Amino acid sequence: MEIKNLTREMLEFRLGNDPEIDTEWFVAHLDDVIRNDPDGCFALCDDNRVIGMITSTVYQEIGWLGWLFVLEQHRLSGLGEQLMRQGIDYIRSRGVKTTLLEADLKATSLYERLGFERQFKTQHFILSRGELKAGRRVLAEIRPVTDGDLEQVVLFDREYFHQDRLNMFRTVFANPGFRGWVGRVEGKTSGYMFVTEATENQQVSPLVIDPSPELAEEVAGGLIREAFKACPKPLYFRCPMVADDRADTLRELGATEVNYYTMRMFLGESYKTERKGVLSLGCPGKG
C-alpha cells in the first residue's frame, strides 16, 4: 500500500464505487479542495490502483478532514484509520492544533478511537420553491457575487467562521459549478450564499447572514429567492445546531428537516464554533 497526493483524475475510482455520490456536485467540490491545498489531499493506492482517499483543508487555527472513503472490499482492515492519521498528521504539520470533521453517524466509532469528541449535530434541511415563505422586502439589495465583492464577503465571513478563507473563496469563485449571491443593506454586506446544482437539488454551501432579527429573514429570503430564479430545484441545507434555535430562520422561511444529520467532532484544542448566522455549511464551509 502506498499513499500519494490525490489528483482530480483519481476521483474516477470513487464515482464508480460510491452509490451515494452525485457526480456533478462531487467533482465541483473536490476540484476546489484539491486546488486549494493539493498537498493535504491523499489517495491510498494498491499497486497504482486507488482504493481510498481523504482530504484536509487548513486555515489559520483549524483544519478540516473530509471525504474519507475506502472501497468496500478493503474495509475493516485499518485502511480508513491509516488515511485518517495521514490527514491528522498533515494538519498538525502545519502548526494547527484543532482538527474538525462532520461525521456520518456510522463512522463515529472510528473517529472516537482516534480521539475525536462529539460536539453538536448538523441537521439537514430542504426547501422547495413552492414552500418558500419569504417575508418582507425592505432594504436588502441582492445580486450575484462578483470578483470585486470577494474581499468584503470574506471580511463578513470571518466574523462568523473566525478564519480567513480568502484563498478558498477565490478558488470557488473561479469554479463554474458554483453560483453565488451577496446581500447588502445600506451598502454593507449582510449575507451571502453559494450553491452547486446536483441531480435532484441545489446544495447550499455555505449560507451566512447577519442574524439580527430585523435583517435575518429578509436577507436569507432574498438570497434564496435569487437561487430559485436561477434554478427551480429544491435547496438543501446543512445547519450547524450549535444551539437549539440556530435553524429558526430556515424554518420560518419554510424549510423542513430531512431524516438525516451528521455529527460535528473535534480533535485537539477547543475552538470558536461558528457564530449564529451560519445557516448552512459545506464547501467552502469545511474546505
Name all contacts of 104-109 with Cβ < 8 Å and 24+ positions apart.
104/262, 105/261, 105/262, 105/263, 107/68, 107/80, 108/263, 108/265
Cell output for 102:
462532520
Is 200 exposed, middle or buried (CB count within 10 Å of its CB: 0-12, 13-18, 19+)?
exposed
Taking the C-alpha atoms of residue 206 and residue 14, their distance in angstroms, rounded to an integer, is 24
Q: Give the bridge partners for 49, in sequence order.
A: 46
Taking the C-alpha atoms of residue 282 and residue 201, their distance in angstroms, rounded to an integer, is 15
* Amino acid symbol at 240: P
Pair 102, 66: CB distance under 8 Å: yes
Residues in the chain, how many? 287
Phi, psi at 109, each rounded to 5°: -65, -40
pLDDT of residue 162: 95
Q: Kindly list the structural domains of the chain, giving each domain's residue range(s) and its CATH number in brackets, ordered by start.
A: 2-119 (3.40.630.30), 124-280 (3.40.630.30)
- Label the pairing between strands 63-70 and 98-103: parallel
Taking the C-alpha atoms of residue 107 and residue 103, their distance in angstroms, rounded to an integer, is 6
- Write the CB contacts of 231 (distance below 8 Å, at least 6 apart in sequence): 179, 195, 197, 202
Taking the C-alpha atoms of residue 81 and residue 234, their distance in angstroms, rounded to an integer, is 36
Is 166 exposed, middle or buried (CB count within 10 Å of its CB: 0-12, 13-18, 19+)?
middle
- Tens-of-pLDDT digits for all 287 residues of the chain? 899 999 989 998 998 888 888 887 788 788 888 988 999 999 999 998 999 999 999 999 999 999 999 998 888 789 999 999 999 999 999 999 999 999 999 999 999 999 999 999 999 999 999 999 975 565 789 999 999 999 999 999 999 999 999 988 898 888 888 899 999 998 899 999 999 888 899 999 899 999 998 889 999 999 999 999 999 999 999 999 999 999 999 999 999 999 999 999 999 999 999 999 999 997 544 54
pLDDT of residue 284: 47
pLDDT of residue 28: 77
Query: Hey, is 3 helix, strand or coil?
Result: strand
Cell output for 54:
481523504
Is 129 exposed, middle or buried (CB count within 10 Å of its CB: 0-12, 13-18, 19+)?
middle
Query: Hey, is 206 helix, strand or coil?
Result: strand
- pTM > 0.95: no
Q: Give the bridge partners for 58, in sequence order.
A: 63
pLDDT of residue 285: 45
